[in-house]
Amino acid sequence: MPSAATTPASSLTLEFCGLAFASPIVLLSGCVGFGEEYTRVEGFSNRDAGAIVLKGTTGKARLGNPPHRVYETPMGMLNAIGLQNPGVDHVVARILPGLDFSETRFIANVSGSTLDEYVEVTRKFDDSPIDAIEINISCPNVKEGGVVFGNSPEMSARVVAACRAVTRKPLITKLSPNQTDIRENARRCIDAGTDALAVINTVMGMAIDVATRRPVLGNVQGGLSGPAIKPIALLKVRQVYEVAAPHRIPIIGQGGIVNATDAIEFLVAGATAVGIGTALFYDPMTCRKVNAGIAAYLQSHGIASVRDLVGTLRTGRDIVDTPVSG
């Protein structure tokens, strides 16, 4: 496997919603704060990622959920942070000016409890240097908004359409796995004007302290991320790809990616870019290793560019929901 210094960078570049990405890797919302946290990690470079998604931002500042907020599970992590953030005005006025937009692309993550709040936050990010906007309609660890919007195709489409009306920046809609038919939701969001889709958000889950017989998380439920959800995420990416591909809507595939093989699976399934989040908590250098591994795979298989790998799953049939028996 080539070292980071010898990785053929040109094979990893791509275009996503008109934005030039130096790598197919996207650092996911909530995992790198507002983009400045990882600058303190020795050896880390923003250039290792094609884009960085900032922490979920709401209209007003939020303190988030009561503790405990994070709990490690077998092959995963539960989190119920609750969208703690300083509010959109602070982010636009105080945080964005400190980011180096020459190194990578920065994507805002818009969250809200009401349709009006989504619109307000989107409008303010539209009048900022941010490169693109991700609509978080599928957060499983807040009691209002979030899941309510993300699990209803009708509500999802309404949020997308309302945000589309107040911004000309690329709009990415983050889809929930906690719904009956993710393909229908994707169709409705595409019709409403989304430019891209992020698949998937975390899976609903909980943990119990058997000594006290109480929920571990202060919010009772939280979002499960990490390798445990990878098979779910991979299937959802393929299902959404079958809907999105005819419309040339790109996908950020995410959920349990920890190495280059994981990333390649998502690209083959139909993702144009791949999101890395939980893996960063135990290996901040994950991105560099994943980039090198993807480049080595492309070289060994005679593939000129990561773009030529997208959606190349070899199957004679569409992915359906019919259970497979033993």
Cα separation, 208 vs 225, whole angstroms: 17
End-to-end CA distance of the chain: 38
Q: At a CB cut-off of 8 Å and minimum separation 6, what does 127 contact?
A: 92
Active-site hit among 17, 31, 139, 189:
139
Contact yes or no for 152/158 (Cβ under 8 A): no
CA distance 250 to 15: 10
Q: Can you state the angle between helices 182-192 and 230-244, rounded to 10 degrees? A: 50
Q: Which of 123, 127, 181 is nearest to 156 (CA)?
A: 181
| Closest CA relative to residue 260, chosen from 4, 16, 70, 32 | 4
Do residues 82 and 219 lie in contact, with contact meaning Cβ atoms separated by under 8 Å? yes
Collapsing DSSP to helix, strand or coil, 165 comes out as coil
Contacts 24+ apart (CB under 8 A), 179-183: 179/150, 179/151, 179/152, 179/153, 180/151, 181/153, 182/236, 182/239, 182/240, 183/239, 183/240, 183/242, 183/243
Is position 163 annotated as part of the catalytic site? no
* Bond prior to 81 in cis (omega within 30° of 0): no
Integer Cα distance of 243 and 318 in angstroms: 11
In DSSP notation, 203-266 reads EEEE-EETTTTEESSTTSEEEEESGGGHHHHHHHHHHHHHHHGGGT--EEEESS--SHHHHHHH
- Give the active site residues: 139
